[in-house]
Amino acid sequence: MRAVLIFLLAISCCARAAEPDLLEPDQAFRFAARLKDASSIEINYQIARGYYLYRDKFQFTLAPASVKSGTPQLPPGRKYRDDSFGEVETYRGSLSIVLPFELADADVPAIRLTAISQGCADIGVCYVPHEQKTELRLASLSPGAMRSEAAPGLFSKVGSAADDALVARVFEGGFWLVIASFFGFGLLLSFTPCVLPMVPILSSVIVGAGRPVTKSKGFVLAIVYVLGMAITYAAAGVAAGLSGAMLSVALQNPWVLGAFALVFVALALAMFGVYDLQLPVSLQSQLADASSRFHGGHTVGVFVMGVLSALILGPCVAAPLAGALLYIGQSRDVVMGGSALFAMALGMGVPLLAVGASAGALMPKAGPWMETVKRGFGTLLLGMAIYVVSPFLPVSVQMFLWAALLIVTAIYLRVIDPLPPAAHGFQKFSKGLGIIALLAGLAYLVGAFSGARDILQPLSGLRVAESGSTAPETPFERIRSGAELDSRVQAAAGRTVMLDFYADWCVSCKEMERYTFSDERVRARFRDMVLLQADVTANNADDAALLRRFRLFGPPGIIFFDRTGREIQGLRVIGFQSADRFVAVLDQALGLGQ
Amino acid sequence: MKARTLAVLALVAGLSTAGGVAVHLWSRGGSAGTDPAEVVERILAAQHADVKGETRRLGDWRGRVLIVNYWATWCAPCREEIPVFVKLQERYGDRGLQFVGIAIDQPGKVAEFAREFGINYPLLLGGVETIELVRQVGNRAGVLPYTLVIDRKGKLVSRELGALKEDRLEGLIQPLL
């Protein structure tokens, strides 16, 4: 069996080239900023696992000139000795920097922030200093303005800079979110068919057979037992975090992550009852023997029983636990790993505590619903599989996978089966959940096929297409040769000029036209510019000369000229750019051009 | 092992193989229109200033086995491999091997580094357009160090991401000399 698995894994792995897949700098170092208060900006970086930023390489500049920036407050980084540079400090994970500023002019509507950062990947390559920009509207400081901008919606991500910061803050609070989730998973795990029926038996074992105890004594013993269990789990979590940290380079490799995903899928199958995953029965019974040697009723004995019981992995717990450990290993966070598994064990211990405290009155009834909980974990593990490989997949493939998972789950929740007339609450509830899953799944399916670019907004492709068809044509002036270009740039008389290289066969150019040029913010900035377009569809001698002059290889390419008619160096747009990013480029062009 | 389990495992492996192939084709197809051979021609033709301010092209060294190394003084992994380059340039220079470093950096720092490390091959300077070319030739994230091995006829033989080990580089060079 093992040989077969390894063989199958080997086949699937070699289908792809061995070159490491690196994230684009914007993905590796996700950037967001928001106004913290009237005199400081909070700048957030979400640094992908396996990547880091240098503490001493940040540069922040603010525009317009009436905004003076103070000294950025950089939190201490991780120090280490580098062979080339001596002691350096780096950041990993999430980073928050506060940049104070002063306003010389109260009428400034918005601050433009340009952030330069420099970082590397653990596999031994470095990114060139990377520039990221955002605009912070000062009006957004007043709470009223904030509220009017925030339109609710399942998939709509409203506003640009402010909302990115919001997302970053949610991740900052990620630690407690993870802990709470693991507690919840623990609680759910205790409702699986191989745990819940055991709780009353376990409870009597802990208390010690044939001995009358008070409720409070029973509760204390239950707590001791659960703590014993929780400490074992926490140790496992720490071990997973440590081994993940040691394997940090390997964990950046798509193959390793792909293998992880396959393991998650295999674990999910165990939860669906395709096969049973548990410790060998002989080992389980040995552990059970060992723990029964300690007598119930005594604090120390009960604690050791708790420690040992955590090692007895039954068929319902083994697979989710393995999944949790893999997740932690991949996150490489030792503290989080230990805490999360501790919380999970506490969650698993809740029914036991309830029994201890209430002498059995608070127990839910065992029944077939527990199988549903088990299958729920299977679904969760499949979700994990998709999550783990998502950095290496195009958005549309990710969306397709999520769609498949959600829709199949919905069908299992009997979305399209009619409810029996005497349906009870739980069936109605699960059907409701199923319908949400089905609709979300369909949204993702539509997103996957309509070229949505944002996993949070699967339907954005449709929305933009709709507005694009009604938007008026962008007023570009066509130019045919270098001479014509020169005369138009001359005639621009102090305005910033944008030259767009276009061709009918250029897909990115059409996308730019449809998604980016149609954006209101882009159009507003276009009004302050002279817009020229070189159509190089024919690729005649003039076209080739124009391309050569700008050392371009072909469309799409956008070049800006300042008011003296010189190209603004370093501001070219090559390839598709989203409206958000393009607006920032236009701002810079307008700023430099004046 | 149950037949059903085997079937499920086979299905999973089959799907992941198909997925892997699809992603691979996709990532290849993503750079459509930028044929590496053609990009190399542009790389050879691109103008670079050297440390003294003179304009050079990589094409000037056509006819030699060319190792083009994109690097910077601020990039730790780049610095690690440079002594290897100096050594190999010394050893194989007579037989037609030519290293050329293209630094995405400030001229002053490059000159200082060259003195400190005793660099015995030409160093040119690169900018935003250089990074764009490097992306098009296959280094999609635009990272350093990145090294191209180009044979005497101007054909791209290898693209190396990250610091190169001596034996690996020697293995690439030997057959070309």
Domain positions in chain B are 1-30, 36-176
Q: Which parts of chain B have pLDDT scores under 50?
A: 1, 25-33
Residue A155 lies in a domain: yes
| A459 in Cβ contact with A444 (< 8 Å) | no
Query: Which of A508, A515, A502, A498 shows the shortest CA–CA distance to A575?
Result: A508
Residue A450 lies in a domain: no
- Residues A345, A478, single domain; the answer is no
pLDDT score for A163: 33
Residue A85 lies in a domain: yes
Task: Dump pLDDT digits (tens) for B10-49.
Answer: 655 566 556 555 555 444 444 444 677 788 888 998 888 8
Instruction: Please indicate, yes or no, whether the overall pTM of this predicted structure exceeds 0.80.
Output: no
Measured between beta carbons, which residues in chain A are less than 8 angstroms from residue B163? 124
- Residues A182, A156, single domain; the answer is no
More confident site: B164 or A200: B164
Contact assignment for B127 to A570 by CB distance below 8 Å:
yes
Measured between beta carbons, which residues in chain A are less than 8 angstroms from residue B75? 120, 126
More confident site: A562 or A290: A562
Alpha-carbon distances of A403 from A107, A386, A449, B96, B163, rounded to whole Å:
48, 11, 11, 57, 40
The tokens for A294 are 């300690």
Contact assignment for A25 to B77 by CB distance below 8 Å:
no
Work out the average pLDDT over A90-94.
88
Contact assignment for A1 to B1 by CB distance below 8 Å:
yes
Contact assignment for A275 to B2 by CB distance below 8 Å:
yes
- Residues A148, A287, single domain; the answer is no
Residue of B12, B55, B71 to mutate when probing chain A, most A C-beta within 10 A: B12
Residue A456 lies in a domain: no
Work out the average pLDDT over A180-193.
83
Which ipTM did the prediction report? 0.75
Q: What is the CATH number for A118?
A: 2.60.40.1250
Average pLDDT, chain A: 74
Q: How far, in Å, CA of A234 to CA of A228, rounded? A: 10
pLDDT score for A337: 81
CA angle A149, A154, A159 (to 5 degrees): 30
Residue A322 lies in a domain: yes
Task: Dump pLDDT digits (tens) for A352-395.
Answer: 888 777 665 656 666 677 777 778 878 888 887 887 777 667 77
- Helical (H) or strand (E) element with A68: strand A67-69
Q: What is the CATH number for A528?
A: 3.40.30.10
Residue A280 has pLDDT above 80, yes or no: no
pLDDT score for B140: 83
Residue A492's domain spans which residues?
471-593
Residue A527 lies in a domain: yes
DSSP string covering A304-335, please? HHHHHHHH---HHHHHHHHHHHHHHHHHT-HH
User: Between B13, B24, B127, which is nearest A17 by CB?
Assistant: B24
Q: Does B106 touch chain A if contact means CB atoms closer than 8 Å?
A: no
Contact assignment for B131 to A397 by CB distance below 8 Å:
no
For residue B43, give the chain A residue with the closest CA: A551
| Residues of B designated as active site | 75, 78
Q: How many domains does chain A have?
A: 3
Work out the average pLDDT over A439-461.
77
More confident site: B76 or A281: B76
Q: How far, in Å, CA of A324 to CA of A380, rounded? A: 11
Residue A521 has pLDDT above 60, yes or no: yes
Q: How far, in Å, CA of A119 to CA of A55, rounded? A: 9
Q: How confident is the model at residue A161 (pLDDT cuts 50, 70, 90)?
A: very low
- Residues A182, A145, single domain; the answer is no
What kind of architecture, by CATH, is found in domain B36-176? Answer: 3-Layer(aba) Sandwich (3.40)
More confident site: A460 or A591: A591
**Which of these three, A392, A427, A448, is where a domain ends?**
A392
- Residues A91, A220, single domain; the answer is no
- Residues A257, A388, single domain; the answer is yes
- Residues A232, A314, single domain; the answer is yes
Give the β-pairing of A59-63 and A51-54.
Answer: unpaired
More confident site: A305 or B30: A305
Measured between beta carbons, which residues in chain A are less than 8 angstroms from residue B33? 554
Q: How many CB atoms lie within 10 A of CB A560?
A: 23
